[in-house]
Amino acid sequence: MEANNGTKKTRDRIGVILYVLYVVLLLASVVLFLKIAGIQLFFKPNPKIATALTPSSRARTLEPIRGNIIDCNGRILAMSCPTYQIAMDCTVRREEFAADTKKGEQREKAWQEKALALSRELPKVFPDKTADQYYKLIMDGRRNGKKYVRLGKPVDRNVYNRVKEFPLFNEGRNQGGFIAEQKNIRIYPYGKLARRTIGFVRDNSSAVGNTHVGLEGKFDYVLHGKEGKEWLKVTDAGRVQDNDSTRTRAEDGKDIRTTINIDYQDIAYRALYGEIAEETDLEGACLVLMESATGAIRAMVNLYRDGEAADFEEVSNLAIGRAIEPGSVFKTVTLMQVLSDGHIKSLEDLIPTNHGNIKGVRIAQDSHILDHERLHGTNSISVIDGFKISSNYVFGTLAVSNYSKKPMRFIENIHSYKLAEAFDFDLAGLATPTIPSPKDKNRYWSLTDLAVMGYGYGTRETPLHILTFYNAIANKGRMMKPYLVEDIEKDGNVKNMRGPALMSTICSKAVADTITRALKAVTEEGTARRLKDAKCPVAGKTGTSFGTYSGGGYKDEYGRHKYQGTFVGFFPADDPHYSVICTVFSKPTSKQFQGGGIPARAIKSLVNGLYSIDPCFQPKLTASK
Amino acid sequence: MDKTWKIQDLGRGLRNSLVAMLHGEFLLRLNVGRYFVHIVYVFFLFAMVIWISLMIENTMNKVENNKSVLQELEIVHSQKVFDLVSLSKRSSVRDLLEQKGSKLTEPTQPATLLIK
């Protein structure tokens, strides 16, 4: 070889070998590069060969642990826990015994005796079959070659531990045919309590749909977490994580701290269920307890009897999902309007009784007014007396006489009280209220509409809307947004604080105080006298309305009504800490379900139950120095 | 001296190499004795890679076993939490007290709060 300077350079042997190696490797790398490019771009393998040559490594999805739902004191309301579906391989060792010509028959007989002993134990945990039926099931399965015979429903860990110690099962899967399939499901330690509010979910891997309702459904994006992935390879010891592959860790779901106090929920449940359990004519009922200052919902009971079901269950959220004509509880809305707009100066302002007929409106005569005229020998009634006896005439008259020329003012006031919108709430399904309006071109507007709206007909409101309005009165005019989720937590640390929010100020403190006085009069001398002897003073209003039938009427052909009785108020009346509403919904019935009946009694039980445990009722004793 | 390569030279070379390997002189014949340490080092690295791979596999087996132990403990823990929480229901406590014949009932009056 000639160097540049023309001198001949001799290469040593090693140099030549390394040079040749270099050239060979260089050529090999070029070939490899071209081959890779060809495989990536043009090569399509035979599927059979590809399957045969694919290494037995496979991906495993790492399931995240779904977050817990906890109450305001940290007690677990919903958590994930494994259940076990027990099954049996009835064919276990059958062929082995059959092949054993010497002792096979004897061993098969011994196995069957153990199966008989197992059959005697199984009814203790799965009582749907007798011991004989279980033995027949196992032996039929053995004869017919069934490798998977399901036994009973999924059971918890405690039962699983018992079952695996039963005769035959204690020999394991290969000897005794014991099969246990584990699956994480959602469990609710407090059973029925707040079940509809907490919601339902089958398990963390099920798709969000009809099985996800309540907080479980609305906050699935928080609770679910994020799946991870890892690759496994086969070794002599079984499948292990492939350390040459990437691994994405599962991210567990976050916890949700709700505003629910499960003790209060328990008391509220017992208070309501105790009143309605024996009432066969009731379709359902709801009770909501809200903290006045914050709008935090401390208890939400929804009891509904589905079709011909024997008992009430938490299967429908009546408190937010059913908008009904509110009845007399809406009179407070009219009262707030006339006070705020200066149409009446005080609750003692007098209105002519006019024998219970509203001028210019054709509505049934108010019999309460006739009683009032007869009892007091007068032709006038004060606003507060009309409120106490829940007179439709008084509040229809207040609406008509003050807003007939400017009905939109009346409607706008209702809108400003947030009684016409489905505000953002922590549960899906809050029904939108219905408020008629003179501007609605599809509907004829008349003075009658204004009059009936004045005493609670013609509109549709959910119990939660009504409660939010009354809570604003308890809160001196400040309307707090109802909420159920206090914060979102991870390992006990707050990640997202939610908490109270002010929606608007709907009236002055003076107006709120005046209305509170009227509401106290209702529980002391009016339609809610039943609450007079509650352990703490309650202010509130009863209301009764009728559900409509398909033709639009309030009665069916047998003259039966669908009652909707409500009591809504707050306590302690002088320094409110809680607002509460209870509504009952009847089936078509000839019985009466007034707001002053079951709802008032349920709330009295609730108030008495809370009285002994809530810190707001604790008398304070200052220690002397 | 220039030498022309023939096919049979390749065969002879392979045979010589084989004989050299059998005599344990292959590396000496190649005259790479001065790189012997490097070659031994490469073999050492290969051995280490194999040994470490086996160790990793062994560790991963332990990880899998420990995972199942941990999972088992988590299951027991969550079951015990569930059992405990279920018993803390207010009405369950009251019913249990009644069943046991206890005179302890719900308070009828709120507790007095002492303030310093």
pLDDT tens, position by position, A414-473 = 999 999 999 999 999 899 999 999 988 888 888 899 999 999 999 999 999 999 999 999
β-pairing, A228-235 vs A247-248, is antiparallel
Does A624 contact chain B (CB < 8 Å)? Answer: no
* Average pLDDT over every residue of A379-392: 93
Query: Given a cut of 60, is residue A145 above it in pLDDT?
Result: yes
pLDDT of the residue at A82: 85
- Per-residue pLDDT, A598: 94
pLDDT score recorded for residue A8 = 54
Contact A122, A151 (CB under 8 A): yes
Q: Does A158 touch chain B (CB under 8 A)?
A: yes
**A192 - beta bridge partners?**
none
Query: What is the average pLDDT across A228-243?
Result: 84
User: In terms of pLDDT, which residue wins out, A57 or A385?
Assistant: A385
Instruction: Please say whether the beta carbons of A286 and A301 come within 8 A.
Output: yes
The confidence band for A113, taking pLDDT boundaries of 50, 70 and 90, is very high
| CA A227, chain centre distance (Å) | 25
Per-residue confidence (pLDDT) for residue B2, from 0 to 100: 63
Residues B35-60: b if buried by 16+ CB within 10 A, e if exposed: eeeeeeeeeeeeeeeeeeeeeebeeb
Q: Among A81, A617, A623, whose Cβ lies nearest the Cβ of B78?
A: A81
- Contact between chains at A238 and B61 (C-beta distance less than 8 A): yes
The mean pLDDT value for A83-92 works out to 92
Q: Does A620 sit within 8 Å of B113, measured CB to CB? A: yes
Query: What is the distance in angstroms between the CA of the first residue and the CA of the last residue of chain B?
Result: 114
Determine the pLDDT at residue A515. 96
Nearest of A315, A292, A358, A321 to residue A574 by alpha carbon: A292
Residues of chain A with CATH 3.40.710.10: 262-488+499-617
From the list A157, A191, A243, which residue is nearest B79 (CB)?
A157
Give the pLDDT band of residue A19 (cuts 50, 70, 90).
Answer: confident
A264 token code pair: 């209060």
pLDDT of A137 higher than 50? yes
**With 60 as the cut, is the pLDDT of residue A561 above it?**
yes
In sign, the C-alpha dihedral spanning A466, A469, A474, A480 is positive
Q: How many CB atoms lie within 10 A of CB A242?
A: 21
Query: CA of A373: how far to CAs of A77, A363, A380, A455, in Å?
Result: 55, 19, 8, 20
Checking if the pLDDT of A1 tops 70, the result is no
A263 chain-B contacts, CB cut-off 8 A? 90
- Residue B20: CA count within 13 A, CB half-sphere: 13
On whether the CB atoms of residues A499 and A293 are closer than 8 A, the answer is no
Nearest CA in chain B to A612: B110
Whether A619 sits inside 8 A of B113 (CB atoms) is yes
Which comes out higher in pLDDT, residue A338 or A7?
A338
Q: What is the pLDDT of residues B42-96, one digit of tens each?
A: 999 999 999 998 999 899 899 989 998 998 898 899 889 988 998 888 888 999 9
Q: Region A364-393: what's the mean pLDDT?
A: 91
Two tokens, residue A65 = 């642990």
- Identify the CATH number of the domain defined by range A262-488+499-617: 3.40.710.10
**Token pair for B66:** 């420990």
**Cβ-based interface (< 8 Å): residues of B facing A:** 30-32, 56-57, 60-61, 63-64, 75-76, 78-79, 81-83, 85-86, 88-91, 106-116
Confidence of residue A146 (pLDDT cuts 50, 70, 90): very high
Instruction: Judge residue A143's burial from the number of C-beta atoms within 10 Å of its C-beta, 0-12 exposed, 13-18 middle, 19 or more buried.
Output: exposed
List where CATH 3.90.1310.10 sits in chain A.
55-75+189-258
Percent helix, strand and coil across chain B, each to the nearest 5: 75, 5, 25
The pLDDT of residue A508: 95
Helices (H), A310-366: 318-321, 331-340
Q: What is the pLDDT of residue B88?
A: 87
Using the predicted structure, report yes or no on whether residue A2 has a pLDDT greater than 50: no
**How much of chain A, in percent, has pLDDT values that exceed 90?**
64
Return the amino acid letter for A364. Answer: A
Determine, for residues A612 and B108 on separate chains, whether the beta-carbon distance falls below 8 Å: yes
**Which chain B residues contact residue A187 at CB under 8 A?**
82
Residues of A in contact with B94 (CB under 8 A): none
Residues B14, B18, B23, B26: is their CA dihedral positive or negative? positive
Q: What is the pLDDT of residue A81?
A: 86
Q: Please, which residues have CB within 8 angstroms of residue A589's CB and are 6 or more apart in sequence? A: A281, A560, A561, A562, A563
Residue A275 has pLDDT above 50, yes or no: yes
pLDDT tens string A524-534: 999 999 999 99
In chain B, residues with a C-beta closer than 8 Å to the C-beta of A239 are 64
Contact B115 A620 (CB under 8 A): yes
> Given an 8 Å threshold on Cβ–Cβ distance, is B61 in contact with A190?
no
Q: A55-75+189-258 sits in which CATH class?
A: alpha beta
Cα A103–Cα A109–Cα A113 angle in degrees, nearest 5:
145
Find all residues with CB under 8 Å of A406, minimum gap 6, and list them: none
Let me know: does A295 contact A481? Beta carbons within 8 Å: yes
Q: What mean pLDDT comes out for the span A223-251?
A: 87
* Mean pLDDT value of segment B18-40: 82
> Nearest CA of chain B to the CA of A290: how many Å?
20
Strand partners, A82: A184
Q: Which pLDDT tens digit goes with each residue over A463-521?
A: 999 999 999 999 999 999 999 999 999 999 999 999 899 999 999 999 999 999 999 99
